[in-house]
Structure 1
Amino acid sequence: MKTEEQQPSIFEKISTGIRNSISLKLILITILTLLLLIPMSMIRGIIAERAINRTETELEVSDKWARQQTVTGPILSIPVLYQRVVSEDEIVSYTKNLNILPNQLMIDGTVLPETLNRGIYDITVYSGELNISGDFTLARYRIDDENFAEIQWDNAFLTIGLSDLRGIRKSIPFQWNGSPVAIEPGSKIQNMISSGVTIPVSLNPEQLRYSFTGSLDIQGSENLSFVPLGNETRVSLESNWPDPSFMGSFLPDEREISQNGFTANWSVLQLNRNYPQKWFDDAYASEMHQSSFGVKLFNTLDDYQKSTRSAKYAVMTLALTFLIFFLTEVLNHRRIHPFQYTLVGLALSVFYVLLVSISEHLNFNIAYMISSLAIIAMITFYASYVFRSRKITLLLAMLLTAIYAFVFVTLQLADYALLIGSIGLAAILSATMFYTRNINWYKLSLGSQG
């Protein structure tokens, strides 16, 4: 019979109850999981910060190479002189540009991606060779305005818009009706085309059709777009880039994409746009630019996107790993201290730091393999001393490998990530319910082993 000194105190009884209580242990593990989401959110912040650094580097490189390019034109502008009588001694003259769009506009181009290195980042840019041809079909214009004076045919000019003129690599050879013409820098129709080149041409009011050919040797970054100014606009592009993203108001009528690159063909009619073939000054400038289309050199999932998506599975990884430890604790009466849970949770958090830092220097898949193997080895080695059972430790290693493999496969399948993820979670929940179906949780105790 125990003496009063040998009997446990009220605090010892409470401590023993906490150690042996399943419910309290589950509450503790839940609280710990929620607390570990704090460093997880900090890690996601680090990933976002690194992604911002990469974006800033891309912009810096683009500023030196050339930014995204939009090709507009050519547009034929014919100055029209007006004279308004203010008084007997004063006549005010002013000019409006009659802007005429091509009848046929054909662009045939090749886009060649290049990779530039800046620090630890690889930046994708491109060079392009574009052959432009087509024709203008004019009419015998009658202008119903009492102030109309004359059409200045000799002062007509073409404008070709290019959004970043730093991307022009060579002089632009251009022929008007079979004859070479000079190219002048800058745009004379700033309200419509803010950046471009001007080509003075001479028109004969008796001639209604004019043809043109030219070529652009340009460079840019991220994407290449076109404005469909022709009564019929045809654009053909080819490239060795395997992941194009077609963008803008019109998708290609024909496309072929493979690991060796892509080819794409667009055909846009005047009736597909919301602006006519001619107007004065900048009447349809906004509608014109809104009709652009083109291609973006798209990375389906860059390394930072993959790292961010993998971090979204952190709760699942934590919960499943803690579940394994908890079931081992329950079924084998092997008490595991909350501090040991904490160390395992922190080890799981370190995985994402390793993943981001290694993927900045190596291929993402290799970085993922190195990081996951390192964390699996760390946790397995630690668990071998916690569980003191080779069989359970081996089972833990297999389950951790399966978890990381599942997340890796989900990351690769961008289009089916939600489907694969939901099926996987349903399968995990079903397996957990199956293997714990016979446990009587009311009669269960964590036991007394330490």
Structure 2
Amino acid sequence: MQDKPTFSEKASNWLKNSLTIRLFTIGILILLLLIPVSMVESLIRERQYRQKESTREVSSKWGESQTIIGLVLTVPYNTYNKVYDSENKKYKLIKSREYAHFLPDQLNISGEVNPEVRYRGIYEIIVYNSKLNLTGNFSHPNFKEWNITEENILWNEAFVSLGLSDLRGLQNKVSLNWNGENFDFNPGIESNDVINNGISCRVPVKTEKSKGLTKNFSLELNFNGSSDLNFTPIGKSTNIKLTSPWKSPSFNGAFLPDNRNIHNKGFDAEWDVLHLNRSYPQSFRGTTRGIHQSSFGVNLIVPVDEYQKSMRSAKYAVMFITLTFLLFFFVQVLNHIRIHPIQYIIVGLALCVFYTLLVALSEHIPFKFSYLISGISIVSMITLYANSIAKNRRLTALIGLILVLLYLFIYSIIQMQDYALLMGSVGLFLVLATIMYLSRKIDWYTISPNKNKS
């Protein structure tokens, strides 16, 4: 007569054979694998940071992103304020110097942006050289609206200023043609009301001969920059035309191009902006708001950002691990194969290694080939490992095929950025429908995952 199993033996058998316990264990293992997944995401962020540091290092030597403001005509004038002198017990007039700023009636900027690719270590950095022609005109400054008398206007100290974000990018001296006369720009600006960083030069603004006459100007700029080139529409009518051989521009800022053409040889873009489209006037005293906020331009972006795609791929790691574990769970249940939790962990770690391979390879070869090589390597490794567990070639081939389909599914989501949510939702719906179909006749109360096949 056989002895009845003890309570501890019954509990041990239940723990070994209970599907509920196995599903709970798989859930715990998925949570544990969040640790290496988070480490992979941290690695991607660290590599992105190093790339940005390399970009900043090159830009600091070549030239930063450039924003052009100008030309701005500035005329200083004297004002008098009544101040009480407590020592002499009487009021006295204190003279102070202030500035009136006048923006051009017409501002035309045309030229080309020639990109160059520089390397810092393994990182590819986009810089550019730009040659621009600036032309336009100013109306004669009008002080009547501010009730400033003629004798207080310092016409002989008037100057024009041109803003450029990074003066280190200038490649040659800048000369201004002002009504047929040439003037050389000097670094620095007497007043920082409008432009914080730039160049300036004094120009003749005569009260009698030129009163009511238009001041025409023209100049050429040759400068280096990185990534972005922006402009401010300070003209009453601003027209900007750019051409470049770069094939993947990104237009940004307060205004998009009125006309743009992106083709195999690069791009052409044209902006037309009126003073009515912005929030600041054509003439003002002191500072005014909105000039910097009205800037617009183009960003020379790298067509493929490997780190961004790697990060998006890593975001689906938990879903991928869960689907893979469900695959092994159904293989275990339906084919009565013993799979230890340690074996689940090994498979999960292999899935995490995929992302480190992907990041490492994508720094040297195109992302699609990196994904292909990493996917083939991991699928092959897991398939061979599954064969040692299942000892069934047909079943192993099925596991390998499903893993390939899962990797293709994730890759399609990464590539279809605009339709990623739709693609992912439909894919998960189909996966769940398949699971429900395959498990519709399973008696979960009687099945035992460790029962030997008859």
> Is TM (by shorter chain) over 0.5?
yes
- Tell me, yes or no, if structure 1 residue 304 matches structure 2 residue 317: no
Q: Which residue of structure 1 lines up, in the alignment, with residue 36 of structure 2?
A: 39
Give yes or no for contact 2:102–2:141 (8 Å, CA) kept in 1. no
Residues 140 and 28 (structure 1), Cα distance of their counterparts in 2 relative to 1, 3 Å cut: closer
Q: CA deviation at 1:154?
A: 2.4
The number of residue pairs the alignment matches comes to 445
Give yes or no for contact 2:129–2:223 (8 Å, CA) kept in 1. yes
Q: How does 1:216-235 map to 2 (within 5 A)?
A: 216-235=221-240
Q: CA deviation at 1:77?
A: 0.9
Q: Which residue of structure 2 lines up, in the alignment, with residue 380 of structure 1?
A: 383
Q: Deviations over 1:400-432 (max 9, x none)?
A: 111111111221222222222222222222222
Q: CA deviation at 1:378?
A: 0.5
Q: CA deviation at 1:133?
A: 0.7
Q: How does 1:122-133 map to 2 (within 5 A)?
A: 122-133=124-135
Of 239, 242, 247 in structure 2, the residue corresponding to residue 237 of structure 1 is: 242
Q: How far apart, in 1, do the equivalents of 2:171 and 2:403 lie?
A: 53
Give yes or no for contact 1:83–1:149 (8 Å, CA) kept in 2. no
Q: How far apart, in 2, do the equivalents of 1:31 and 1:160 lie?
A: 63
Of 405, 409, 420 in structure 1, the residue corresponding to residue 412 of structure 2 is: 409
- What secondary structure is seen at the aligned counterpart in 2 of 1:190? coil
- Tell me, yes or no, if structure 1 residue 182 matches structure 2 residue 187: no
Q: How does 1:252-401 map to 2 (within 5 A)?
A: 252-282=257-287, 284=288, 286-299=289-302, 302-401=305-404
- What secondary structure is seen at the aligned counterpart in 2 of 1:407? helix
Q: Which residue of structure 2 lines up, in the alignment, with residue 20 of structure 1?
A: 17
Question: What code does the residue aligned with 2:103 have?
Answer: L
- What secondary structure is seen at the aligned counterpart in 2 of 1:276? coil
Q: How far apart, in 2, do the equivalents of 1:230 and 1:61 lie?
A: 33
Q: CA deviation at 1:393?
A: 0.9
Q: How far apart, in 1, do the equivalents of 2:348 and 2:263 lie?
A: 42
Q: How far apart, in 2, do the equivalents of 1:259 and 1:369 lie?
A: 28
Q: How far apart, in 2, do the equivalents of 1:106 and 1:399 lie?
A: 60
Q: How far apart, in 2, do the equivalents of 1:55 and 1:101 lie?
A: 37
Of 27, 30, 51 in structure 2, the residue corresponding to residue 30 of structure 1 is: 27
Q: Which residue of structure 2 lines up, in the alignment, with residue 136 of structure 1?
A: 138
Q: CA deviation at 1:8?
A: 5.0
Q: How does 1:16-165 map to 2 (within 5 A)?
A: 16-82=13-79, 92-138=94-140, 141-142=143-144, 145=147, 149-165=151-167
Structure 1 unaligned residues grouped into runs of 5+: none
Q: How far apart, in 2, do the equivalents of 1:363 and 1:235 lie?
A: 36
Q: How far apart, in 2, do the equivalents of 1:78 and 1:191 lie?
A: 12
CA RMSD of aligned residues (A): 2.2
Q: Deviations over 1:306-342 (max 9, x none)?
A: 1111011111111111111111111111111111111
Residues 320 and 39 (structure 1), Cα distance of their counterparts in 2 relative to 1, 3 Å cut: same
Identity %: 43
Q: CA deviation at 1:144?
A: 5.2
Q: CA deviation at 1:449?
A: 3.7
Structure 2 unaligned residues grouped into runs of 5+: none
Q: Deviations over 1:244-282 (max 9, x none)?
A: 222221111122224543222111111111111111232
Q: CA deviation at 1:164?
A: 0.6
Residues 324 and 78 (structure 1), Cα distance of their counterparts in 2 relative to 1, 3 Å cut: same
Q: How far apart, in 2, do the equivalents of 1:159 and 1:78 lie?
A: 11
Give yes or no for contact 2:126–2:302 (8 Å, CA) kept in 1. no
Give yes or no for contact 1:82–1:149 (8 Å, CA) kept in 2. no
Q: Deviations over 1:177-225 (max 9, x none)?
A: 2332211111122232111011221123232201111111111112111
Q: How far apart, in 2, do the equivalents of 1:200 and 1:146 lie?
A: 21
